[in-house]
Structure 1
């Protein structure tokens, strides 16, 4: 067990190192420099070289990276040469906006996708199923930067029921806060709705064809009871996985939406920092997002144990005593066998 945990932590650290090196390398390839941004258009080459030397940007690439990494391990992601503010403080000031947007988008996607998937799976290849598939196909093909302006025109300009731009903090009221976050959350959630619906629909259709479901129906159980009590849980593993990964991706993938709706989140921070060649801030934000992605991915693995008892008891159970040569070796119960035993009980 502990070896597995250590291996996962090692992989996570490797991913973070690769991501941060890649980001710093890409920023170094971009035209211009942060010294030119600070000094402006009237900067001379001598002044730029002097400021680069003062900021330590004239040192070798890996020397700069290792100095930054040593401070980052201690929780110090650096200070922005543009704003002279702590990168860590800037991240935590803007994190609530991005986190609320990502969680709200994920909640909307799940609340819409799960009922649609259940309806589709209960009536496969029917007119209703085909209509739902067509709608989700449209959602899947519309990126957020296209859905955003369309939603603004419909709900803000035409209907005038939601604000088009800006952000209202929770401290100013939960209602106004949710109204300001709803349109960008929907724009982000559309693609997630389509992905969640397709995955859960396919898993539910496969589960409903199993023998233990037929046995449950033969015992007189209602269709809805069988669907939610016996078929939904074993069909939700893939949904759990992509939900966790979607949340991690949304935390770092709302740059365009935050810029479109003028939201003061991490996306706006990183886009502004890229334009200003602020490599310290960009690297700090990307590091934070990479850590969040890895941590959420590990929490998804832990979540398997909450919906599958076999995952919880497998590490703690002692191994069975070896069977005699003449007796057949015991086999581990399959998920379907577990469900059949539950139905029989």
Structure 2
């Protein structure tokens, strides 16, 4: 167990290092610098060079990176040279918005996709199944930056039921907060609905064809009982995996939606920092997202054990049913 934890931790550390090095390299290749943003367009090259030297951006690439890495390992992600706000503080201020948007989008996707997948698996290749597949295919082909304006036009402009822009903190009321969050969350959730539906539908159809499901039906159990008691849980492994990955991706991938709906989240923070060439903030935000992605992946692995106890017992427990089946088959062959 400990070797597995160390192996996963080593992979996670390698991923974070590669991601942060790549981000700093891309920011270094981008035209302009944070010194030019601070001093303005009228700044002379001498003034820009002096400002870069003052901020430490004139040092070699890996000197800058390892200096940042040493501070980050101590919990200090640096301070923005533009806003003079610590990066950790800026992330914590905006994290609730992005986290709420991601969780709400994931919840909407699961609440819609699971019933659709159950209906499709119950009546495979029927008119209902084909209709659901057509709708989810349309969801899959609509990116968030297209779905957002369409939803705004329909719900905010035409029906006038939801606000088009803006954000109300949850401290000022749950109702106004949800009214401002529902459209951006729905714009993000449409693609996830299609992915969740397709994965769960395929797994459910495969599980419902297993011999133990046929045996349960032969005992007189109802179709609904068999579906939810015997088939749903073993079919939810893939759904659990992509749900965890989707949550991690949504936390760092809502930049366009947050900019479209003017939401004060992490996505808007990183987009504005890129425009201002604020490499300190970009580096800190990307490192935070990378760590979150790794942690969520590890939680997904733990979730496997909650669904299937054989995962908690290790490889020997997973091989036991196979060995028992082999002994039974061998005994029947000897008897014959």
For this structure pair, what is the TM-score category when the shorter chain's length is used for normalisation?
A: over 0.9
SS, match of residue 235 in structure 1? coil
Aligned residue pairs total 323
Aligned partner of 1:333 in structure 2 is 321
Task: Quote the residue 1:295 is aligned against.
Answer: 295
Residue number in structure 1 paired with 2:53:
53
Q: CA RMSD in A?
A: 1.2
Helix, strand or coil for the counterpart of 1:213? helix
CA distance in 2: counterparts of 1:214 and 1:238, whole angstroms: 22
- Report the TM-score when normalising by structure 1: 0.92
**Equivalents in 1 of 2:287, 2:60: separation in Å?**
21
- Displacement, 1:331? 5.3
2:277 corresponds to 1:277? yes
How many angstroms apart in 1 are the aligned matches of 2:272 and 2:64? 22
SS, match of residue 163 in structure 1: coil
Match of 2:153 in 1: 153
What's the counterpart of residue 112 of structure 1?
112
Return the alpha-carbon distance in structure 1 between the equivalents of residues 7 and 158 of structure 2.
54
1:65 corresponds in structure 2 to 65
* Cα distance, 1:314 vs structure 2: 2.7
**Runs of at least 4 residues off by over 2 Å:** none
Equivalents in 2 of 1:331, 1:23: separation in Å? 43
What is the deviation of 1:185? 0.2
Residue number in structure 1 paired with 2:42: 42
1:331/1:15 Cα in 2 relative to 1: closer, same or farther (>3 Å)?
closer
Are residues 331 and 291 of structure 1, via their aligned partners in 2, closer, same or farther at CA, if it must alter by over 3 Å? closer
Question: Structure 2: which 5+ residue stretches go unaligned?
Answer: 326-336
Shift of residue 311, structure 1, vs aligned partner: 1.1
2:166 matched residue in structure 1? 166
How many angstroms apart in 2 are the aligned matches of 1:293 and 1:331? 31
Q: Structure 1's 57 and 311: CA in aligned 2 closer, same or farther, altered over 3 A? A: same
For 1:153 and 1:278, the matched residues in 2 are separated by: 34
Counterparts of 2:321 and 2:153, CA distance in 1: 55
Structure 1: distance between partners of 2:207 and 2:311: 19
Q: Which residue of 2 aligns with 1:238?
A: 238
Counterpart Cα distance in 1 of 2:321 and 2:96:
44
TM-aligned CA deviation for residue 313 of structure 1: 2.4
Q: What are the equivalent positions in structure 2 for 1:185-224 lying under 5 Å apart?
A: 185-224=185-224
Distance 2:170 2:61 in 1: 42
CA distance in 1, matches of 2:49, 2:41: 14
CA distance in 1, matches of 2:21, 2:319: 47
- Gapped runs of 5+ residues in structure 1? 321-329, 338-345
